[in-house]
A = this chain, B = another copy of it.
Amino acid sequence: MSTAGKSNEKCVTIENMNENIIRLEYAVRGPIVIRAGEIEKELEQGVKKPFTEVLKANIGDCHAMGQKPITFFRQVLALVSLPSLFDDPSFPEDAKDRARGVLKGCKGGSVGSYTDSVGIEIIRKHVAEFIERRDGIPSDYANIILSAGASDGIKNVLKIMNQPIDNKRPGVMVPIPQYPLYSATLAEFNMHQISYYLNESKGWGMDLSELQRAVDEAKEVSAPRAIVVINPGNPTGQVLSRKNIEEIIQFAYKERLFILADEVYQDNIYAPGSKFYSFKKVLTEMGPPYSEMELASFMSCSKGYMGECGLRGAYFEIINICPQVKAQLLKAISAMLCPTALGQTVVECIVNPPREGEPSYPLYKEEREQVLSELKKRAKMVADTFNSIPGFSCNEVQGAMYAFPQMQLPPKAVEAAKKEGKAPDTFYALQLLENTGICIVPGSGFGQQPGTHHFRTTILPQTDKLKAMLDTFKTFHKKFLKEYS
């Protein structure tokens, strides 16, 4: 075998590999983030830069940005991992109680056993009770499925409807801007992405006319099957009003669409007057026929006040699913054995947290409120700062963990980007990274109205760092404008 023709002799080459994978993009971990990783390594090796550290504002990774875990959660995790700690009197009784409940639900009393593919039964029951308390509407634990992160659950639900109808590819309505898991999954599954634009001038709300336009155009080339709604919005930070949710449900009913409600930021509500309504609650309270619509709602341990991204815990609730389809969904999930038992343990902590009167309650409450009130402060700070920079405009960050400001880029910058074969927002983000160490994700990674330029930044850096970051950003932008004006 000669070295020359070697790559041609591989079994799997870029020419004969899965085209869907080649088409798939995931900007949150895309080229800019990869470059940020390289820069971090260069800094470690002593390479001189105009900054001393990379600030990763690209990803909703709370603990990476210095957020502390909720003590109670970690106590329960330690107890289920090493049950000899039950003898340690320094662990509070309520943590032991939760850990005991989890272990009782594990075969052989060990988190090292496979759980049911849909998750540990007692945790599923507690999830159902949690949803009932939240919505004031019954929830059946048989409809609760635990998953290894919300992404896992979302992919499993989308997979089920991946079937051409009348020779047309199945289509899924996705907001633009969107969280790129959706575009990546649709690319991987070779499903048709039906993009509907959120209305930036109305605080990223949803216009019915735009939903209608999107689905009508899509019908020529695809069979619309489902609509994805992210509420609170990622990357856009809006919190949908109850009225807007009702309109979307009516639209989905009319168009016979399965609703995927990505509600992983349901605890992250900051703006005065904003309130989280679950799609399940609204749809149920609307009564028939809406209350009989198929819905999957997703929740995660990675966001909220806990931010346990690395532990891969999540659940989703499915309602009104055809029983035969549900059986197929459960079968498909079973081949992957089970989501991690320790991720499931975190779900248990979220849905069955310390109650008033229990020993861990005061600390739990304090830690939770501290995280949420800091995020609230930062949500305002980020939007206010960007709005104070000439050429930037940023909607109120009502919820979630991100701001998605729009920026006016000078024509010369757009030209310079073109010369380098880059989208203007990518060009800007790379310059920002190389000059300041600030890592953001260009708007093109989420989708945006053609001709507009945005980026997503998280609101997660600790308040002092965030202030410093915003100052640096401002200074950079002034220099950038000067250079390209």
Contact = CB atoms under 8 A, between A and B. Distances in A.
A228 to B, nearest CB: 14
Nearest to A342: B342
A64 B337 CA distance: 14
Give 10 nearest A-B pairs by CB, closest first.
A64-B107, A310-B341, A63-B110, A78-B82, A63-B112, A77-B81, A26-B335, A29-B334, A64-B113, A184-B335
9 contacts: A10-B294, A11-B294, A14-B322, A17-B163, A21-B329, A74-B82, A112-B310, A113-B310, A114-B309
A24 B309 contact: no
Number of copies: 2
A112 B346 CA distance: 11
A250 interface: no
Interface stretch (A146-154, A275-283, A400-408): A146-154
A159 interface: yes
Interface of A: 1, 6-7, 9-14, 16-22, 24-26, 29, 56, 59, 61-67, 69, 74-75, 77-78, 81-82, 85, 88, 106-108, 110-115, 117, 148-149, 151-152, 155, 159-163, 165, 180-181, 184-185, 188, 225-226, 256-258, 288-289, 292, 294, 306-312, 320-322, 324-325, 328-329, 331-332, 334-343
A55 B238 CA distance: 52
Contacts of A59: 114
Given A74-B82, A82-B75, A325-B12, A311 B342 contact: yes
Given A12-B225, A78-B82, A225-B11, A21 B332 contact: yes
Nearest to A14: B324
A183 to B, nearest CB: 9
A203 B359 CA distance: 60
Given A11-B257, A336-B152, A26 B331 contact: yes
A258 B165 CA distance: 34
A160 B294 CA distance: 32
Contacts of A180: 335
B77 A17 contact: no
Nearest to A338: B310
Contacts of A324: 13-14
Nearest to A290: B1
B13 A112 contact: no
A312 B148 contact: yes
Contacts of A310: 106, 110-115, 338, 340-342
A107 B148 contact: no
Nearest to A33: B334
Query: Which among A185, A226, A340 has the greatest number of chain B C-beta atoms within 10 A?
Result: A340
Contacts of A66: 108
A319 to B, nearest CB: 12
B18 A159 contact: yes
A65 B113 CA distance: 9
